[in-house]
Chains A and B, each alone.
Chain A
């Protein structure tokens, strides 16, 4: 990457004023995405870069009864170093499969959520959990549900000209939490895809289910999810088949590749079976 100028602010307010002065600047968190050379690596043109690595106020983690709040510059290694149960276990398992321990010492949660060309590992699980992200611009701030960053065609639509400062992760107990990465687990590949399924049960009925598959775009059907809510569990084979059929129709309407659709449907079926096994156990 060719860099004209680097601004290394020490505080968030310095970073916000630098961004106001340079609205086209590239924001750099851990740099693992920006500086890795991949097939679709960073654009080879001169840019101003604002590196957020020195901003300590973006590196906090706190917890209430309802949610965990993570500063965007918290590294993935710092997240993993938190005591067990501090962050949801499914998120922890996703983070643990990102890169190697050395890469996780650099990579940050905010950086992982801000990649613009493709959804990275933490996005699907946090979107399923209805996590909120705080974006700051000048003196204004706003909280955005991560699901709103999925564009109409399923592609990422990350805010520009704003700095992601905090991520608020709700602490709802999930009876089923599956996060499956397809592709090379340790490699930051632009070809990997992620499948996430979360489910809650109440009195032997499915009270909430969320399924998201992120390949070159994110696939999530709230209609199918609501049609499943309230079903008795274990789910009957015909319920499973009808849901898988509905997902197959959804995939063909979304126009994703057949191979991706086939993988997605296999994982959906497996998630339902796992939900039934969990209930039976």
Chain B
């Protein structure tokens, strides 16, 4: 089947089997390797992408669901100010995730900050439990997200008062 959708802000089109997973399409058809295809059942969260503005495990998204949708991968998210806040926040807090889970952690954290601009530690831990990686130190993750939240709030404030 032919798939037309918006990928990282650009209109794209590709051929796929109806049962192909989005994670597979991103890696094989577009060489976007940020979404890792690991458990193929949504548990590990390493294939996280944003689908129509919602963070979802791309291994559970079938090709036919992508038609006409807007998909943002970590490669596209890296070009945004929200990503810069998270990168700087995590760096400042000494909580940088490993290369394997970085995309999934940042996309999950961004989804949380969209919902709750000043999240509590329990909310951060609950949200980031969606990403399964051994590099995590829970307290460092909390520090990283909270620092990023501060940077983001400051940026929003300056933008609003410019």
Q: Complex: how many Å from CA A28 to CA B18? A: 13
Does A154 have its Cβ within 8 Å of any Cβ on chain B?
Answer: no
B41 close to A36 (CB less than 8 A): yes
How many chain A residues have a CB neighbour from B under 8 Å?
A: 27
Q: 1/0 contact trace for A31-67 toward B, CB 8 Å?
A: 1100111100000000001010100000000000000
Q: State A102–B112 Cα separation when bound (angstroms).
A: 11
Q: Does A143 interact with chain B (Cβ within 8 Å)?
A: no
Docked complex Cα distance between A2 and B19 (Å): 6
Cα-based distance from A51 to B62 in the complex (angstroms): 10
Min CB distance B116 to A, Å, is 11
The interface stretch among B4-12, B50-58, B70-78, B91-99 is B50-58
- A188 in contact with B43 given A8-B67, A51-B64, A106-B56 (CB within 8 Å): yes
A103 to B129: give the CA distance in the assembly, Å. 12
A51 closest partner in B (C-beta): B64
Nearest opposing residue in chain B for A53, CB measure: B65
- Bound: A188/B43 CA distance, A: 8
Judged by DSSP, the binding face of A is loop
Contact A36 B40 (CB under 8 A): yes
Residue of A nearest to B44 (CB): A100
- Establish whether residues B18 and A35, one from each chain, have CB atoms under 8 Å apart when the complex forms: no
A101 adjacent to B55 (CB under 8 Å): yes
Task: Please determine whether A101 and B41 come into contact, CB atoms closer than 8 angstroms.
Answer: no
CA distance A49 to B56 in the complex (A): 21
**Does A182 reach chain B (CB closer than 8 Å)?**
no
Q: A84 to chain B: closest CB distance in Å?
A: 15
Q: Within the complex, what minimum Cβ distance (angstroms) separates A205 from chain B?
A: 38
Contact of A6 with B18 in the complex, beta carbons under 8 Å = yes
Residues of B within 8 Å of A1, CB to CB, are: 19
Known contacts A36-B41, A38-B41; A31 and B54 CB within 8 A of each other: no
Question: What residues of chain B lie closer than 8 Å to A2, measured between beta carbons?
Answer: 19
Is A137 in contact with chain B by the CB < 8 A criterion? no
A187 and B17 contact, Cβ closer than 8 Å, known pairs A77-B54, A102-B57, A102-B130:
no
* A270 touches B (CB below 8 Å): no
CB of A224, distance to nearest CB on chain B (Å): 36
Output the least CB separation between A102 and chain B (Å). 5
Binding site for B on A (CB under 8 A): 1-3, 5-6, 8, 28, 31-32, 35-38, 49, 51, 53, 77, 99-103, 105-106, 186-188
9 cross-chain pairs, A with B, having the tightest CB-CB distances, nearest first: A100-B130, A36-B41, A3-B18, A6-B64, A3-B19, A105-B54, A6-B18, A103-B42, A37-B40
20 contacts between A and B (CB under 8 A): A2-B19, A3-B18, A6-B1, A8-B67, A31-B65, A32-B42, A35-B59, A36-B60, A53-B65, A99-B42, A100-B42, A101-B55, A101-B130, A102-B42, A103-B56, A105-B54, A105-B56, A106-B56, A106-B61, A186-B129
